[in-house]
Chains A and B, each alone.
Chain A
Amino acid sequence: MDRETIKNKILTIFDEEFEIVNPGENEDLREIHGFDSIDAIELLREIEIMLDTELTRDEKKKAMDIRTFSQICDYVESLSADRG
């Protein structure tokens, strides 16, 4: 999955699930959009559906340090590459 596709899918999830429209690439999602830990867990579940895979314990843990939209795209890009 290329970066542009990932970006568009994440944007759709943000809009539909978290009511966050077009977040800035490097905005702190927690500070600016009130994206909390429950949202982060929901996002992980959406990512699993998007990639049709189950995330490992460490992959989920790693995601909790993510703060920006750009970092989310990096994270999904890396997961997608790992799974070929």
Chain B
Amino acid sequence: MIKRTVDIIATLFLWIYFTLGHLFFFLPAYLLAAFLAKDRERAFQHLNHLFFRGFFALAQILIPGFTLKIDPAVTRLHGSVIVCNHVSYFDPILLIALFKRQKTIVKSDFFSFPFLGWNLKLSGYLPATATGSYTELVYKGISSMAEYLSSGGNLFVFPEGTRRRDGKMGRFNKGAFSIARKCRAPVQVIEILNTDRLFSPGHALLNTCIANRVTVMHKGEIDLSRAQKKISTRELIRQTRRIFKKMPSTPETIPDNDAR
């Protein structure tokens, strides 16, 4: 009973931050960015980054057992196509909180939601489908991707496309790898652990009364700019899967003084 009450209170506070925080604290900043920013896309990405940093800072205050341990090698990533496992709805917002300049591929339906759709478009995020009204958006996003990556921005993608509940590695969609290959951008493989313990698929409430260290680790890199021969997309996927499988997931290898 006490656990459920604590779960409800923490979830409620974070939802309030998510909705009213957006409306009252960040909407004015988004509006200013929309009308005045020289580089609107960059400004929106930065605001998203700040908003979700705030979200996780608040989560760590409200949920005493919740800590974040981020591999410093992850926070240094730039100009890369970042591929990551996907176990919880918290994964994309955690990655936005980690990278100041970030783009990702988002479920197309979200682009028709009020405010969210506007934010996604102006942040330069890509819809997952390119049909109908999304064609132009995907076309512009893909056309400018090489320049975006070479200027230091990151594109993060969950190649399995959906959250995994069984701990196994699913089939990879090739979109992110085609983009990396085309742009000759490095592919960075990272792994998120334990966001599913905090916000489990199929549950409405956060699981707050447990000690839970959410970890983000850098597992490896495939540097396409250094590859002598043009590597095929299939080979790129094969190498990425090998990196995912290569090392056991051991957050202990990340030094404690770098935990955030």
- Chain A CB within 10 Å — which of B131, B135, B233, B234 has the most? B135
A32 to B203: give the CA distance in the assembly, Å.
37
A36 to B182: give the CA distance in the assembly, Å.
15
B129 CB contact (under 8 Å) in A17, A37, A57, A65 = A37
On chain B, the residues within 8 Å of A63 by CB distance are: 135
A45 to B143: give the CA distance in the assembly, Å.
8
A63 to B134: give the CA distance in the assembly, Å.
13
On chain B, the residues within 8 Å of A72 by CB distance are: none
Q: Tell me if A44 counts as interface (CB < 8 A to partner B).
A: yes
Q: Tell me if B174 counts as interface (CB < 8 A to partner A).
A: yes
Decide: A45 and B130 in contact? CB cutoff 8 A.
no
Decide: A42 and B234 in contact? CB cutoff 8 A.
no
Chain B interface, DSSP helix/strand/loop, else mixed: helix
Q: Tell me if A3 counts as interface (CB < 8 A to partner B).
A: no
Number of interface residues of A (CB under 8 A): 18
State which residues 110-155 of B face A: CB under 8 Å: 128-132, 135-136, 138-139, 142-143
Q: Tell me if A24 counts as interface (CB < 8 A to partner B).
A: no
A66 to B130: give the CA distance in the assembly, Å.
12
Decide: B234 and A40 in contact? CB cutoff 8 A.
no
Q: Tell me if B178 counts as interface (CB < 8 A to partner A).
A: yes
Q: Tell me if A41 counts as interface (CB < 8 A to partner B).
A: yes
Q: Tell me if A83 counts as interface (CB < 8 A to partner B).
A: no
* Known A41-B142, A42-B142, A65-B131; further 8 A-B contacts with Cβ < 8 A: A17-B182, A19-B233, A34-B174, A37-B128, A42-B178, A45-B143, A61-B136, A64-B135
- The 6 A-B pairs of least Cβ separation, nearest first, read A37-B130, A38-B175, A64-B131, A41-B142, A61-B135, A60-B135
